[in-house]
Every structure is written in C-alpha cells, then in structure tokens.
C-alpha cells in the first residue's frame, strides 16, 4: 500500500531524486553486499578484495573476483524496478538518478545521465597511469568467484588494468558526488531504493535531502528510517514496489 501523502508529493514534485543501492539489482540475480546468506561480504572480506592494497598484494585474485561480478552483470537483465525508475523519469519534470551500483542495469533499462558514485565495472583503467583502454573489455574469462585471473596490461604504459570501481579508502568521483549532493539539496522527493545506508559519504544523501525539506521514501524489505514526518518506509522488494509506486502516482 503506497501512502496517499507520498503519492501527492510525487505528483506535485518538480524534482525527484532516486538513490539506489545493490538491492535494486537483487531481483536481477546480482548478489548484494550485506544481505545474508547470499551477501558477498559474507563470503569475501571486502578488505581482501575491494582495496588498492589487496590489488597490489594479489592483482589476479582481485581482478578475477571483479570479472566474476562483471560476468554476473552481463548475464543479468534489468528488472521491473529498473524499468519503473526509467519510466518515472518520463512522468516528472526532473529526475536525478544516483546509484552506488557498478552495474549498467539502469542504463540498459533506459535511464540516462545515471550518476555512478562508486564507478562502473565497464570502465577499467590502468592501476599505474590511470588511462583507460581504447577498446572495451571482451567477455570475462572468470565464470566463478574467487579464482585468480591475471589482469590485462595497459596499452599505454604496460601497467596492470584495475576495475573502474571506487575501492574502500578511495575518494568518490568529485563531479558525481557534487551532483548527487546538489540534487539532494534541491529535490522535492527522494526515493531510496535497496540500500543499507552504511557506506559513507553516499549514505549521507537521503538524510541531506530530508534536512533540505524533501519527502523521503525508502524501498527496502528491511526497516529503515528515523524521522517521524516526511519519511515513508515501503517494506518490500524493489521489483514489486517501484512499479506499484509508479502506478499509484501516475496510473502508469
Ligand atoms: N529490493 C529492495 N531492497 C533490497 C532487496 C530487494 N529485492 N534485496 C535486498 N535489499 C536491501 C537490503 O535489505 C539492504 O538494505 O538492499 C540493501 C543492500 O545493502 P548492501 O548490500 O549494503 O548494498 P549497498 O547499500 O548498495 O552497499 C553500499 O557498499 O560494499 C560497498 O561499494 C559497495 O556500493 C556498495 C556500498
């Protein structure tokens, strides 16, 4: 059941921000990070994979793990949540889509100008000179997680390629974070979809929007939220609730 006050806020919104995490891609078959028992960080310690130190220590383990993730993404398809978010952008005057995800399912669902706070699996770059390969990567060689795969070499300097994602301890792309914060400061409604809200600075975005006066909605099977007013928790999955939200607000 979508609260009437949220429907009214959406219908009257000039600017809507959608902020997504791994949960929006869960129903496309891509494992989230902290959801037990399938949570990725349950099985792999992020410190041994998602850091520059881990890559220096064992580039083949880290590259092999991300290539396994990239294979998952290539085999996955956008789910009804991705499609509803793309459709929502056609129903409101302005929509800013900010994601923590490194997959391209929002783009493949038809969303444009997606702000990726944590980079992308499809944009590898050289660990040494930071330049990108002139050709996109081919199909991943790594069908299973946790197996070693030697990273390709940089065509410019011979260094090793690294995944184009933000690792723990690294800064987020400044332009992306600035744009995401600016949207939080100016949107009328922020819909947070499938994020545990534990990784900063991205996790500040919903709270920042609420403090700026926006109506906040969380789409998540787990309980979230801490404000009495202007905040709604839609308990359920993204693929179920996002189409319902679109239909309730715009009969779409
Ligand atoms: N629909 C909606 N939400 C879901 C679904 C679903 N089908 N399945 C799980 N969730 C929720 C979980 O309840 C959880 O709150 O999605 C959230 C997933 O949380 P995380 O696994 O922590 O993913 P995320 O919040 O995106 O992590 C943020 O942490 O490891 C880093 O860089 C990584 O971008 C990632 C960041």
Say if residues 201 and 177 touch (Cβ distance below 8 Å). Answer: yes
d(CA 15, CA 228): 22
Considering the chain, tell me which residue range(s) the CATH 3.30.1600.10 domain(s) occupy: 31-75+125-162
- The verdict on whether omega for the bond into residue 138 sits within 30 degrees of 0, i.e. cis, is no
**Residue of 94, 89, 107, 90 whose CA lies nearest to 25:** 107
User: Is 238 close to ligand 1, i.e. is its CB under 6 Å away?
Assistant: yes
H or E segment to which residue 220 belongs: strand 215-220
Residue 204 has what pLDDT?
A: 95
Whether the per-residue pLDDT at 83 is higher than 90: the answer is yes
Atom of ligand 1 nearest to the CA of 102: 34
- Residue 130 has a CB neighbour count (10 Å cut-off) of 12
| 238 assigned binding-site residue | yes
Residue 244 has what pLDDT?
A: 98
Residue 145 has what pLDDT?
A: 61
User: Is 78 close to ligand 1, i.e. is its CB under 6 Å away?
Assistant: no
User: Is 220 close to ligand 1, i.e. is its CB under 6 Å away?
Assistant: yes
- The verdict on whether omega for the bond into residue 223 sits within 30 degrees of 0, i.e. cis, is no
d(CA 7, CA 250): 9
Residue 37 has what pLDDT?
A: 64
**Residue of 241, 199, 248, 216 whose CA lies nearest to 27:** 241
Residue 1 has what pLDDT?
A: 83
User: Is 32 close to ligand 1, i.e. is its CB under 6 Å away?
Assistant: yes
Among candidate residues 118, 200, 218, 227, the one labeled active-site is 118
Given the structure tokens 């499809």, which residue do they identify?
122
Q: What pTM was computed for the model?
A: 0.95
Considering the chain, tell me which residue range(s) the CATH 3.40.50.1220 domain(s) occupy: 1-29+78-120+172-252
Say if residues 229 and 217 touch (Cβ distance below 8 Å). Answer: no
d(CA 249, CA 6): 9
209, two tokens: 């929007």
Decide if 118 is catalytic: yes
DSSP 3-state assignment of 167? coil
d(CA 165, CA 121): 6
Residue 66 has what pLDDT?
A: 93
| 187 assigned binding-site residue | no
Residue 166: pLDDT band with limits 50, 70, 90: very high
Give residue-wise pLDDT tens across range 118-144.
Answer: 999 999 999 999 999 999 999 988 766
Q: What is the DSSP letter of 146?
A: T
Q: What's the fold here for domain 1-29+78-120+172-252?
A: Rossmann fold (3.40.50)
H or E segment to which residue 192 belongs: strand 189-193
Say if residues 207 and 224 touch (Cβ distance below 8 Å). Answer: no
Residue 80: pLDDT band with limits 50, 70, 90: very high
Q: Which CATH architecture has domain 31-75+125-162?
A: 2-Layer Sandwich (3.30)
Give residue-wise pLDDT tens across range 94-107.
Answer: 999 999 999 999 99
Q: Could you give the count of Cα atoms lying within 13 Å of 24 in the half-sphere of its Cβ?
A: 30
């Amino acid at each position: 059941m979508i609260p009437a006050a949220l429907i009214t806020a959406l219908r009257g919104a000039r600017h809507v921000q959608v902020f997504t995490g791994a949960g929006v891609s869960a129903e496309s078959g891509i494992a989230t990070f902290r959801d037990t028992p399938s949570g990725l960080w349950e099985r792999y310690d992020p410190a041994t994979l998602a850091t520059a130190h881990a890559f220096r220590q064992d580039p083949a383990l880290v590259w092999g793990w991300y290539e396994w993730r990239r294979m998952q993404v290539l085999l996955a398809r956008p789910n009804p949540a991705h499609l509803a978010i793309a459709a929502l952008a056609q129903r409101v005057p302005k929509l800013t889509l900010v994601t923590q995800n490194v997959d391209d399912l929002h783009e493949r669902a038809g969303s444009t100008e997606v702000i990726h706070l944590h980079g992308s699996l499809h944009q590898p770059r050289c660990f040494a000179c930071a330049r990108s390969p002139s050709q996109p990567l081919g199909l991943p060689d790594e069908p299973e997680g946790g197996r070693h795969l030697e990273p390709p070499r940089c065509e410019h300097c011979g260094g090793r390629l690294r995944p184009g994602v933000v690792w723990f301890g690294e800064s987020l792309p400044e332009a992306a974070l600035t744009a995401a914060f600016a949207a939080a400061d100016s949107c009328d409604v922020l819909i947070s979809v499938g994020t545990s809200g534990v990784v900063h600075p991205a996790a500040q975005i919903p709270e920042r929007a609420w403090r700026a006066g926006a109506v906040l909605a969380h789409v998540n099977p787990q309980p979230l939220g801490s404000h009495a007013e202007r905040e709604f928790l839609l308990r359920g999955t993204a693929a179920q609730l996002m189409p319902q939200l679109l239909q309730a607000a715009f009969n779409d």
